[in-house]
Amino acid sequence: MDLKPKPWQHKDLLGIEQLSAHDIAQIFQAAVSMKEILERPIKKLPTLRGKSVGMLFYEASTRTRVSFETAAKTLGADVGAFAVNTSSVSKGESLLDTAKTLDAMKFDLIVIRHASSGAAAFLADNLSAGVINAGDGQHEHPTQALLDAFTLCERFGPGAPSETVPGTGTKTDYTKTVPDKLLAGRKIVIVGDILHSRVARSNALCLRRLGADVTFVGPPTLLPPEMACWDVTISHDLDAVLQGADAVMALRLQLERQKSGLFPSVQEYAKLYGLTVGRLKQTCRETLLLHPGPMNRGVEIDSELADSFSSVVEEQVTNGVAVRMALIYLLIGGGFNS
Amino acid sequence: MWLIKDAHVVDPAQEIDRTCDVLFDNTIIAIGTDLSDKDIPDDDSSLSIVNAAGKYLFPGLVDVHTHLREPGREDKEDIASGSRAAVRGGFTTILAMANTQPVIDNRGLVEFVLRQGERAKGARVLPVAAVTMGLQGNELVNMAELHKAGAVAFSDDGRGIQRAQTMLLALQYARLTGCPLISHCENESLAAGGSMRRGPRSARLGLAGIPASAESVMAARDVLLAQECGGKLHLAHLSTAAAVLALRWGKQQGIDVSGEVNPHHLIFCDDDIGLTDTSLKVNPPLPSAADRDVLLDALADGSIDMLATDHAPHAWEEKAQPFAEAPFGINAFETALAAVWTSLVKPGKLSVAQLVRAWSLNPARRFGVTGGSLRVGDPADIVLFDPDHAEVIGEGAWLSKSTNTPYWGQKMQGFPVAAWVGGELRADRSGMRIL
C-alpha cells in the first residue's frame, strides 16, 4: 500500500474551513487505498495497532459512530466508546473535565459529536490528543462533506467513468490532479433546512474548495440571505434551479421546526421542496442524488425516488468508512499526532 | 488635603481643558494656575503635593451600569471587590443593577447594597432597584419606598420587560420618584436561544443568531411609550443602528430619553468572534461593523449621552465551555478606560473632553448622583490619568474576583493612576511621587 503522505499539517479535523483543496485531495488519495482494503476478503490492517481512538457522542447517532468505529478497527486501532448518558457526563461533568479525563487516559484521537457549535474546537484547545469533529451543533460536519465530495469525485472527477460509455472508469490518482478543479463546472444543488444544517455548511465549503458551483434552496425562513456567505447561489424556487444540476442533495427536515413556526406545514414544504422522480427530470441529465440520512420519506424525498437511488446510498456508506479510515490514518498513523 | 500640580485638567462642566493645579480636601477648594501654600485656608500640616505634569485630571468617572453579583453570586464578585475594582479603574460612583439573587426589589435589600458599598471604601455604590418584583415583568416594586431608601433608578436589566402595558405603567408610575427607568431592550421571542448577532458571521460559525430587531423593536416601543406617558427613559447598552435612530427621533420629539453604549460595542464587532473565545460573548451581542460605526458617531455627536461598562463578572469555569453554553458578559472595570483610551481617544475618534462628558458629567447629571464636575465645593471625586502608563492585564494587581475579559494577558496603555472619593485616596497604582 503506497499512501506516501506529504507532510500532513493538522492535529485535528475540526471543519472543512481549515482544509485546503490540497488537503482534501490528500484525504481522497488515501481514501482510494482504504476503499480497496474494504473490498478485500480479510479487512484488517495492523497499521494502527497500539493506537486508541475514543468515541464521545453527546448526540444520538448510529451510522456515523459505527462508521468511525469500523474505520478505526479496520486499521487495527483500539476503540473506546463513551456512552454519554450513562457516564459521569450525565452527572453534570463539564466538557472541560471530560476532556482532561480523556487526556489522562492517553487516547491518541477523540471523535466527538456535540449539540453545541464549537464543541470540537473547544475540546481540541484542551486536549493533547487529536480531535475529529463528527458534527458540532449547526457548525460543521466535515467527514460527511468529505464522503459526499469523494462520492461526487468518483462519479464526476478525473478518471470517472464516461457518462456515455459505461464501465470505462479508472481509479483516480489524486496526486496527479489539480485539487481546486476536481469538481470544476459541476453544479450541485442542496435543498432543505440550510440554516440549521451543519451538513450544508461543510458541504458548501468543501464543494467550493473543489471548484463546484453550489446552489442552496429552501424557504426564506430556513435560508436567510446571510447564508450566501460561502459564495453560493441562494434560491427559494427548487424548480427554477434544477436544470443542469449534476447532483442534488436533500437535507433531512427536522419536523419539530414546523412547531416553532419556521414553515406552515409539512405538506406545503413537501410540495415546494420535496424531491420526486418527476421533479428530478428537470435537470435534463443524469443526476446524482445524495442524502445524509436518515430520510423522511414523503417529506424531503418521495419513496419512489428514495428506492431508486439506494445503490448510491450504499456507495456513500462504504465511502464514509474509507474516508474516515483515511482521516484517522493521516491524523495518527503516518502523520501529525503519531 | 491635596494639591495636584500641573495636571491637564479636563472638566467639561466648567469648560476647563488646560494645565492647572487643583486643591482639595473632602471637597474641591480651588482650581487655578500656580496654586501654592498660601492658597491653603489654614496652616494644614497634612498637605500632600503631587507633581502631575504629563497626566490628566478628570472628575471621577460615573458608571451607570454594573453587576456586582451580591447578594447571591459572591463567587463571581461582591460589592467590596467590585467597588474596589471600579475605583481602580477610575470610577468613583457606580450604579449596581438589581438582577442579583435575590433580586433587589425591597427596601431591606436596597439598604443592604448601600451599606455594603459604604463598608467597602471603593467607589460610591448606588442601588438600582428592580422595576418588577423578582424581575418577573408583572407587579411593580414599591417604587416610592425604594427611592426613599436610596435607589437612584429602576431597571429589570438582565431581562427586557416583555409586556408593553407593564412598561407603560412602570414609566408612568416612576414619575413619582423622578428617577430614570432603565430599559434593557430585548425581545425574548426574537432573541430566543441566540448567542451572537445574527449575520454572515453567525451563519459561518453555525451559532444561533440574535437579530438586531430583538433590540431595535423594544427601543422604538419604549421611546413611544415614554412619549405617551411623559416618563423618564434611559436605554441601556445600545448596540443597533435602528435603536440609535429611535433614540435620536425621541430626542427630536422632546421625549425625556437618554442612552448609553458599552465600550465593547464600540471596539469589537461580530467579525471578531471566534468559536472558542467566550470572552466576547455578551448581551446584547457585539454589533455588525456597520452598526458599530453608527454607535461611535452617535456617541461623538452626543445622541448617545454616555458610556457605561455593563461590568459583568463570571466564574472562570462558566466561561470555559462551548460558546453557546457560556454565559453572556464582559468583566470591564479595570480595563474599560484603557480600552476606550487606546481604541477611541488616541486615534482621535473621541476627544478627551467628550470622554469625560460621556463618562462623568452626563451620567451624573442624568441620574442625579454625586460627581461629574470639579466645581469648588463639589465632593472631591477625582481621577488622575496617565496616558503613558502601561500594564499587562493579569500581571500584578487585579481586584475583581473574575477574569472574563478579552484583554486578559494583553498589554494595555493609558490607566488611571490614582482616584479619590470624597477626597480620600482609594486607588493608587502610580507609586505617586508625593512631594
pLDDT tens for residues B16-70? 999 999 999 999 999 998 887 677 766 666 889 999 999 999 999 999 999 999 9
Q: What is the pLDDT of residue A292?
A: 85
Query: Considering the domain boundaries, does residue B53 fall inside one?
Result: yes
Comparing A78-82, A164-168, B296-300, which segment has the lowest mean pLDDT? A164-168
Of all residues in chain B, the percent with pLDDT exceeding 90 is 93
The most distant pair of C-alpha atoms in chain A lies apart, rounded to whole Å, by: 59
Q: What is the DSSP string of B383-405?
A: EEEEEEEEEETTSS---SS----
Q: What is the pLDDT of residue A81?
A: 85
Q: What is the pLDDT of residue B42?
A: 67
**Residue A226 to residue B323, Cβ atoms within 8 A:** no
Q: What is the pLDDT of residue A2?
A: 44
The reported pTM is 0.93
Q: What is the pLDDT of residue B343?
A: 97
Rounded (10°) angle between helices A142-156 and A21-38: 80
pLDDT at A161 > cutoff 90: no
Nearest chain B Cα distance for residue A325, angstroms: 27
- State the total domains in chain B: 2
pLDDT tens for residues B218-232? 999 999 999 999 999
CB-nearest to A139 from B199, B200, B206 is: B206
pLDDT band at B433 (very low <50, low <70, confident <90, very high): very low
- For B21, the 3-state DSSP assignment is strand
pLDDT band at A15 (very low <50, low <70, confident <90, very high): very high
If we measure between CA atoms, which residue out of A201, A101, A212 comes closest to residue A151?
A: A212
Query: Considering the domain boundaries, does residue B392 fall inside one?
Result: no
Same domain, B254 and B277: yes
Query: Considering the domain boundaries, does residue B394 fall inside one?
Result: no
**Looking at residues A105-128, what average pLDDT do you find?**
94
Same domain, B11 and B118: no
Q: What is the DSSP string of A122-165?
A: HHHHH-SSEEEEEEETTTB-HHHHHHHHHHHHHHHSTTPPPSSS
pLDDT tens for residues B148-159? 999 999 999 999
Equal fold, A16-140+317-333 vs A174-309: yes
Of all residues in chain A, the percent with pLDDT exceeding 70 is 91
Q: What is the pLDDT of residue A177?
A: 83
If we measure between CA atoms, which residue out of B110, B68, B115 comes closest to residue B91?
A: B68
pLDDT at A6 > cutoff 80: no
CATH number of the domain that residue B131 is part of: 3.20.20.140
Query: Considering the domain boundaries, does residue B302 fall inside one?
Result: yes
CB A58 within 8 A of CB A89: yes
pLDDT at A284 > cutoff 70: yes
Domain ranges of chain A: 16-140+317-333, 174-309
**Residue B203 to residue A226, Cβ atoms within 8 A:** yes
Same domain, B44 and B70: no
Q: What is the pLDDT of residue A238?
A: 97
If we measure between CA atoms, which residue out of B177, B174, B263, B270 comes closest to residue B222?
A: B174
Comparing A203-217, A250-264, B179-193, B356-370, which segment has the lowest mean pLDDT? A250-264
Q: What is the pLDDT of residue A3?
A: 47
Residue A4 CB coordination number (10 Å):
11
Mutation pick from B205, B271, B278, B317 vs chain A, by most beta carbons of A within 10 Å, is B205
Instruction: Give A 148-207 residues with CB within 8 A of chain B.
Output: 195, 198, 201
CB A52 within 8 A of CB A182: no
Q: What is the DSSP string of A281-327?
A: GGG-S--EEE--S---BTTTB-HHHHHHTHHHHHHHHHHHHHHHHHH
A148 or A92, greater pLDDT: A148
Please list the residues that pair with A278 across neighbouring strands.
none
**Residue A226 to residue B317, Cβ atoms within 8 A:** no
Same domain, B101 and B167: yes
- What radius of gyration do chain B's Cα atoms show? 21
Mutation pick from B198, B276, B280, B281 vs chain A, by most beta carbons of A within 10 Å, is B276
Q: What is the pLDDT of residue B45?
A: 67
pLDDT at A164 > cutoff 80: no
Same domain, B116 and B92: yes
Name the residue of chain A whose CA is nearest to B200's CA: A226
pLDDT at B304 > cutoff 80: yes
Nearest chain B Cα distance for residue A125, angstroms: 8
CATH of domain A16-140+317-333: 3.40.50.1370
Q: What is the pLDDT of residue B40?
A: 73
pLDDT tens for residues A122-149? 999 999 999 999 999 999 999 999 999 9
User: What is the spatial distance between Cα A186 and Cα A83, in angstroms, rounded to a whole number?
Assistant: 41
Whether omega for the bond prior to residue B284 falls within 30 degrees of 0, making it cis, is yes
Same domain, B200 and B316: yes
- CB-count exposure of residue B141 (10 Å: 0-12, 13-18, 19+): buried
Q: What is the pLDDT of residue A85?
A: 65
Nearest chain B Cα distance for residue A140, angstroms: 8
**Residue B207 to residue A140, Cβ atoms within 8 A:** no
User: What is the spatial distance between Cα A47 and Cα A53, in angstroms, rounded to a whole number?
Assistant: 14
Residue B37 annotated as catalytic: no
Same domain, B49 and B136: no
**Residue A118 to residue B202, Cβ atoms within 8 A:** no
Mean pLDDT of all residues belonging to chain B: 95
pLDDT tens for residues B318-328? 999 999 999 99
Question: Where do the H-state alpha helices sit in B20-157?
Answer: 79-88, 107-120, 143-149
| ipTM of this complex | 0.89
Query: Considering the domain boundaries, does residue B401 fall inside one?
Result: no
User: What is the spatial distance between Cα A135 and Cα A57, in angstroms, rounded to a whole number?
Assistant: 9
Q: What is the pLDDT of residue A82?
A: 81
Comparing A39-48, A193-202, A263-272, B21-30, which segment has the lowest mean pLDDT? A39-48
The residue with cell 487606546 is B342
Query: Considering the domain boundaries, does residue B151 fall inside one?
Result: yes
If we measure between CA atoms, which residue out of A334, A329, A193, A198 comes closest to residue A262?
A: A193
pLDDT at B239 > cutoff 50: yes
- For B22, the 3-state DSSP assignment is strand
pLDDT tens for residues A176-197? 888 899 999 999 999 999 999 9
What is the CATH class of A174-309?
Answer: alpha beta
Residues contacting residue B289 through CB under 8 Å, at least 6 positions apart: B269, B270, B271
**Residue B321 to residue A95, Cβ atoms within 8 A:** yes
Nearest chain A Cα distance for residue B34, angstroms: 58
User: What is the spatial distance between Cα B94 and Cα B91, in angstroms, rounded to a whole number?
Assistant: 7
| B272: containing domain | 59-367
**Looking at residues A34-50, what average pLDDT do you find?**
90
Same domain, B32 and B112: no
CB B94 within 8 A of CB B61: no
Same domain, B166 and B257: yes
CB A333 within 8 A of CB A27: no
pLDDT tens for residues B360-388? 999 999 999 999 999 999 999 999 999 99
The residue with cell 499526532 is A337
The most distant pair of C-alpha atoms in chain B lies apart, rounded to whole Å, by: 69
User: What is the spatial distance between Cα A182 and Cα A211, in angstroms, rounded to a whole number?
Assistant: 7
Terminal alpha carbon distance of chain B: 13
Beta strand A78-83 with A213-217: parallel, antiparallel or unpaired? unpaired
The residue with cell 466576547 is B280
Query: Considering the domain boundaries, does residue B36 fall inside one?
Result: yes
Q: What is the pLDDT of residue B435?
A: 45
The residue with cell 435575590 is B102
pLDDT at B396 > cutoff 90: no
pLDDT tens for residues A237-264? 999 999 999 999 999 998 878 888 899 9
Same domain, B48 and B167: no
B198 contacts in chain A (CB < 8 Å): 224, 226
Mean pLDDT of all residues belonging to chain A: 88
pLDDT at A4 > cutoff 80: no
How far is C-alpha A53 from the chain's CA centre? 19
Q: What is the pLDDT of residue A316?
A: 87
Type and span of the H or E element at B316: helix B316-319
Q: What is the pLDDT of residue A310?
A: 62
Q: What is the pLDDT of residue A295?
A: 86
pLDDT at A335 > cutoff 70: no
Of all residues in chain B, the percent with pLDDT exceeding 70 is 97
Query: Considering the domain boundaries, does residue B399 fall inside one?
Result: no
The residue with cell 433580586 is B103
CB A257 within 8 A of CB A215: no
Determine phi and psi for A205, rounding to 5 degrees. Answer: -60, -45
Same domain, B284 and B357: yes
Same domain, B26 and B79: no
CB A198 within 8 A of CB A135: yes
